[in-house]
Every structure is written in structure tokens, then in C-alpha cells.
Chain A
């Protein structure tokens, strides 16, 4: 056996000052290898000191990812510690209700998040152009000033109330009060109209279930025109969180080469805005809603209260967090 220890005798007093100081890296790694069964131990160790942080991220996380994740998702050997850290987290960490978007307001089909910032009404003609009693919906006239027209504008105009359709109905226009010119904060977590009691944590936590991801699951999530995109989703069964009305089966995943995917192209073509929902797996503070970008299979639809059957959010690095509300349509 090659000596992995210092050749000189380390005295007891020296050792007590720092147990690990005199141990070589491969001995420390032997100890770390014995902690593999619970990923939280490695993650906590990474917070202890810079030596542990670099060993855990560059060696432990890397060996775990090489073992559990598809080779497609592994970065080049020159990848930094942060890349391995993100991937390891993707493998073992459930995004939680927060990052899976379950806590976002959904009763308006997500339109509030997608329509864009409230644009100030042009002038006195505003009061006659819309009978909308909901101050959140921007006036139609203001929307025509928006140079970029998105799918959601069509959706909006299909649903907004038009006073010309109901001439005999008395409709009192609502004058905007001075405070209404505040821009709508788009993409923030809207205040819950109903408080939802959640059992357990809503933030990210150690996932129950396998640490592997597979493309088969990803294919079943995406609309058929995205069949050539490589989306890997965690294998089932995963974390289930019980809500007030229904259960949420949370999932996590990643696109291979996201910036070359068709989903990415769609998001760009739609000029889709991001929402202020941070990614669970990297430093991205904003993500795109795949459901409202029509990237998910159309068949999934909505519940009666407007909640989507499945939701998914993707960040710029291709990390995906989401939740099912029914048994997934696969084994």
C-alpha cells in the first residue's frame, strides 16, 4: 500500500488542533466515500471549509453524477465545481413546491404573469374603452401600443369583456385612481387569495425516490413537435406533497443543449417573458413557464379552478422544475 499518510509522527497535540490537517487528500476522500448514502452529508461538508468545498464539489459530486446521470448531461472534464454542484443537486434534490411553481397564483390561467407590465392609459378616452372591473387587466387600447404581439394577446382579446357586444347593459366605466398607474409586478408570487395549508417544507429538500433521470419521462411531458429535444426528467416515484385540494407530484429535470433546443427557439420566437420564479438548481433568478408557452402536451389541460394539470418551468441553463396533479400518464 502506498503511504497516504505523513511519514513523520504527528503528535497528539498537533492532531487535536485539526484532525484533518495532516491527512492527505485520498484519505479524506476515503472518509467522504463512506458518506455517499446520504447526499445531505456531502452538501453540509461543502459548507465547512474551502478544502472540503473543493473536494466535495470536484470529486464527490462528480463521481455521483457520473454514476447516476446520463452521459448526455455531464459537462466536459474541464467543468468547474459549480457545474458539478448544480448537476448533483438536480440528481438528489426535489425542487419543492415553491420552485415547482405550485405556490404561484393560477386561477387566471397564468395570464397575469404573461401579459406584461401594466401600461399607463393614454388619456381621457380610456374610460370608454373598457368595462373591465378588474384593475389588473390592462386596457385594450394600451395593448395596441405594444409593438411585439404575442400569442397571449390573442388569448386576452378572446376573453376580455367588450362593451360593444352588450349595448343594452348599463356599464359604468371605472375611472382609474391615481394609484392604479403603478406597474403590475409581473411574475412575482401573487398573494394567495386562499391560504393553502401545506404539510412539510415548501422549499427544496432531499428527494424521495431515485436519483436517476431519463429521457423517456421527458418525452412524455413535451408536445410532440419537440420530440427531438432531449429533456431528461427524474424517474418515478418521486416526492408527493399533499395540498388542500389535490396532491402534487414534483419532478425535476434538464434539457441537453438547451440553447439548441426547439423549446428554446419557441420561447425566443414568442418573445416570452420570464417570471420571477428562481431556478432550484442554479443561480438563475427567473424562469420560463413551459405550460403557457405551449411546450407541454396539450392533452393535459386544466382543473376546474384553473390550475394546470401539469406545470413546468425552465431556466436559461435548461434546468426544469415542475409538478403533476394527477397520476402521470406513464409507469
Chain B
């Protein structure tokens, strides 16, 4: 039977997860090595922890069972070592799952990236930042302000000067 780790959210809810799922977080992996298997996470709410666990579970499952049947050696190696890499996800099915996962509003994304950073889950941090960048691409300044609730703090003169300087960029091909 797989070893279970207990995670306790900021609002007191407890979540039991398989060790390989929890070890997607470098922080948890380090803590478990030293101490017991109950890990309090006071700065992470249940709602966010559920989402983070869902991500970790999915990525742990894919890492344990790689697509290529010939790489049994690679599978053995990956299950015994810590699973953390910052290179982009190459499995198309997993990428598609990730894209669905981040179909969240900005405030949810924000909560997830804060938690993912706290737990040191590099891939999840990168996924959220990539999603935010995608929400900026191709948009005009006013749309970006609206999307992210950013205040326009320029004086009219500054705004005009910037507009003149950057008007070449306002067309999309």
C-alpha cells in the first residue's frame, strides 16, 4: 500500500494524499524526510489545496506511467527520484489537461500561484504564469487594464507621449 501523507489546510480541513502526489511539492518532500507525516499548511485554504492536490495527482500519475512502453528504465528511475523539472510538459494529453485546469478567473489563478510557490511546485507556478501571459498577448492597453484591474496612472501628457512612441504596435496582423 502506498504511503499516505496528511495535509492540513489553513481552515483545518485534512487531506490524505499518496506520497508521490505530495512529493510534487519540494517543500513537502523535505519536511517529510525530517519529521512526521502530518503537514500543516496554514497559509493555504481548503479550496486552493484541493485544486493543487488535483494538479499534483494528475502529474504524479503521468510521471509514474510514462507514455513510451519501452522506457521502463526511465519509469523506474523517475518513480524513485524526486519528480521535479522545469522543462515544458511534452505529453499532449497532459498539456490538454493543464489547459483545462487553468480555465479559472484571475483571482483563483492568483491563489494557486501563491500556494504553488509556497509549496515549491515549479511546474504549476510556470503553468499559471504562462496562462497569465496568454491573457495579455494580442491585447491593447485598455483591454489589459480591464482584464487585470490595473489603474491607468498616467497623466494625459504621458499617455499621449507613450501612445505616439508605441502606436506602431497597436495593429495586429
Binding site for B on A (CB under 8 A): 1, 3-10, 12-13, 15-20, 22, 27, 30-32, 34-35, 38-41, 43-50, 52-53, 85, 89, 93, 96, 201, 203-206
Q: Contact flags (1/0) for B136-166 with A, using CB distance below 8 Å?
A: 1111110011001111111000110011011
Q: Is B162's CB under 8 angstroms from A31's CB?
A: no
Q: Is B169's CB under 8 angstroms from A15's CB?
A: no
Which residue of B has the minimal Cβ distance to A12? Answer: B107
21 contacts between A and B (CB under 8 A): A9-B43, A9-B45, A10-B111, A15-B106, A19-B132, A22-B110, A34-B133, A35-B133, A38-B138, A45-B141, A46-B165, A47-B162, A48-B150, A48-B152, A49-B152, A49-B153, A53-B154, A53-B162, A201-B171, A204-B168, A206-B173
The CA-CA distance from A246 to B9 in the complex, in Å, is 70
Residues from chain B with a CB closer than 8 A to the CB of A17 are 149
Which residue of A has the minimal Cβ distance to B159? Answer: A47
Query: What's the least CB distance linking A80 to chain B, in Å?
Result: 13
In the complex, identify which listed stretch (B49-57, B89-97, B115-123) lies at the interface while the others stay far away. Answer: B115-123
Query: What's the least CB distance linking A18 to chain B, in Å?
Result: 5
The CA-CA distance from A8 to B10 in the complex, in Å, is 12
Task: Say if the beta carbon of B101 comes within 8 Å of chain A.
Answer: no
Contact of B169 among A8, A32, A43 (CB under 8 A): A43
The CA-CA distance from A273 to B118 in the complex, in Å, is 63
Q: Is B114's CB under 8 angstroms from A5's CB?
A: yes
Residues from chain A with a CB closer than 8 A to the CB of B168 are 40, 43, 89, 93, 96, 203-206
Q: Is A39's CB under 8 angstroms from B162's CB?
A: no
Contact of A9 among B114, B130, B167 (CB under 8 A): B114
Q: Is A48's CB under 8 angstroms from B117's CB?
A: no
The CA-CA distance from A205 to B172 in the complex, in Å, is 10
Query: What's the least CB distance linking A109 to chain B, in Å?
Result: 30
Binding site for A on B (CB under 8 A): 10, 26, 43-45, 105-111, 113-114, 117-118, 120, 122, 129-130, 132-133, 136-141, 144-145, 148-154, 158-159, 162-163, 165-173
Q: Is A34's CB under 8 angstroms from B129's CB?
A: yes
Residues from chain B with a CB closer than 8 A to the CB of A9 are 10, 43-45, 114
The CA-CA distance from A82 to B9 in the complex, in Å, is 48
The CA-CA distance from A30 to B163 in the complex, in Å, is 25
Contact of A1 among B45, B122, B136 (CB under 8 A): B122
Given A15-B110, A16-B107, A206 and B150 contact (CB-CB distance below 8 Å): no
Given A19-B148, A206-B173, A31 and B136 contact (CB-CB distance below 8 Å): yes
Residues from chain A with a CB closer than 8 A to the CB of B137 are 35, 38, 41
The CA-CA distance from A206 to B149 in the complex, in Å, is 28
Query: What's the least CB distance linking B11 to chain A, in Å?
Result: 11
Which residue of A has the minimal Cβ distance to B149? Answer: A18
Contact of A43 among B130, B138, B154, B166 (CB under 8 A): B166
Query: What's the least CB distance linking A281 to chain B, in Å?
Result: 9
Residues from chain A with a CB closer than 8 A to the CB of B163 are 47
The 8 closest A-B pairs by CB, nearest first: A43-B169, A34-B133, A40-B169, A204-B168, A47-B141, A15-B110, A16-B107, A43-B166
Query: What's the least CB distance linking B107 to chain A, in Å?
Result: 4
Residues from chain B with a CB closer than 8 A to the CB of A18 are 148-151
Query: What's the least CB distance linking A324 to chain B, in Å?
Result: 21
Q: Is A46's CB under 8 angstroms from B149's CB?
A: no
Q: Is A31's CB under 8 angstroms from B107's CB?
A: no
The CA-CA distance from A43 to B167 in the complex, in Å, is 9
